[in-house]
Structure 1
C-alpha cells in the first residue's frame, strides 16, 4: 500500500488551483453544471474549503466567470501593428477560436448575462466595454473609425452581431468555414462605419 502525498499549497495557490479547475470545467459545461462536489473531488479538497475561499456556490461561479472574462479579453487583444484592419482580423480570429474552445461555457455566460443576476451581468458588461474601448484605441483605428457617441452605438451593435454570428456558427458550421466566418465579422465593422459617414 502506497501513501498518497499531498502538496501543501498557500491560500493563494489553492484559490488559483480551484479557479483553474473551475475554468477547465466551464470550457465544456454551463456554469450551472459545474458541481461543487466534482470540483472539490478533483481538487482533493473538502466542500467546506471551497466555501471558505468563495463564500458560496454563487461566489465560486462568479469568480470562475470573472476569470473566463479576463481570459477572453487577454486572449483577444489585438497584436502590435500599424494596420487597424489586420489587428481587427487577428483579434476576431482569436475570439472565434476562444468561443470554439469554450463553447458551452461561453454560451452559458452570454445567457446568464442576458437573464442572470446583476453580478454576472456586470462581469459580462465590463468585458464587453473593454473590448469596445480597444476597438477605438487600437493603433491607427482613427483612420477608419472616429470615437463619437454614434460610432460607439454602432460598435456595440456590431459586437452583438459578432457574438450571435459566432455562437450560431458554432452550433451549425455547415457550409461556412472558420476563415469565412472571421472575414465576415471583420468586414462588417468597416461596412457599418461607412454607412455613418
Structure 2
C-alpha cells in the first residue's frame, strides 16, 4: 500500500446493516417509500443488490427497517429539553417536530399515507411513534403542571397530535401566507388551550 491510500475498515454485519439503514433514512428524506428501491440503495452504497437482500431479506423488510429507523429518529430528534418551563419545553419539541417534517417531508408523508392506507406494518410503526410522542407529554410533565394525566386528557392529547401532524404537513406542502413562527405558536399554544377547556 502506498502512502496516502486510504485504508478500508471492515465493518461488522450489525455495523454495516446500521450504515445501510442510515443511508436509507437519508434517501427517504426527499423521496417517497415507493421510490426507495433496493437498486437505488445498492447504487448509493456501492454494493450489490445481493448483499442488500442478505441484510434485509426482501424489499418489504428493507422498507420496514428504514421506516422503523426513521420513526426512532423522529422520536429522538423531537425530544424536549430535559428541564425548564413546561410551555417552553413543549414549544422546543414542536419546533424540532417542524424541523423534522421539513427535512424529511417525502418520507414522513409516505409513513403517514402508508399507515392510513392499510399497510399493517407501517400502521404499527406509526402507532408506536405516535404513542411515544404523546405519552412523553405525561411522563416528562410528571407534576401535571401543564397536562394532567386523565383518560379524557389523554384522548385530547391524541387528537391534538393528529391535528398538529395535519397542520405541519399542510403547511410544508403550502404555507398559504402562514409564517413558520405563526405555525409554531399555534402548535405550542393549542394543546394547553384544549386541556384548559377540559380541566
Normalising by structure 1, we get a TM-score of 0.94
Q: What are structure 2's unaligned runs of at least 5 residues?
A: none
Preserved CA contact (<8 Å) 1:144 1:190: yes
> 1:28: which partner in 2?
30
Counterparts of residues 1-197 of structure 1 (less than 5 Å):
7-139=9-141, 142-197=144-199
In structure 2, what is the Cα distance between the partners aligned to 1:42 and 1:6?
17
Preserved CA contact (<8 Å) 2:29 2:105: yes
User: What is the CA distance between 1:141 and its match in structure 2?
Assistant: 5.7
In structure 1, what is the Cα distance between the partners aligned to 2:40 and 2:146?
49
In structure 1, what is the Cα distance between the partners aligned to 2:27 and 2:44?
11
Q: What are structure 1's unaligned runs of at least 5 residues?
A: none
In structure 1, what is the Cα distance between the partners aligned to 2:161 and 2:11?
40
In structure 1, what is the Cα distance between the partners aligned to 2:140 and 2:12?
39
User: What is the CA distance between 1:116 and its match in structure 2?
Assistant: 3.7
User: What is the CA distance between 1:12 and its match in structure 2?
Assistant: 1.4
Preserved CA contact (<8 Å) 1:89 1:182: yes
In structure 1, what is the Cα distance between the partners aligned to 2:19 and 2:83?
35
Tell me the C-alpha RMSD between the 2 structures. Answer: 1.7
User: What is the CA distance between 1:174 and its match in structure 2?
Assistant: 2.8
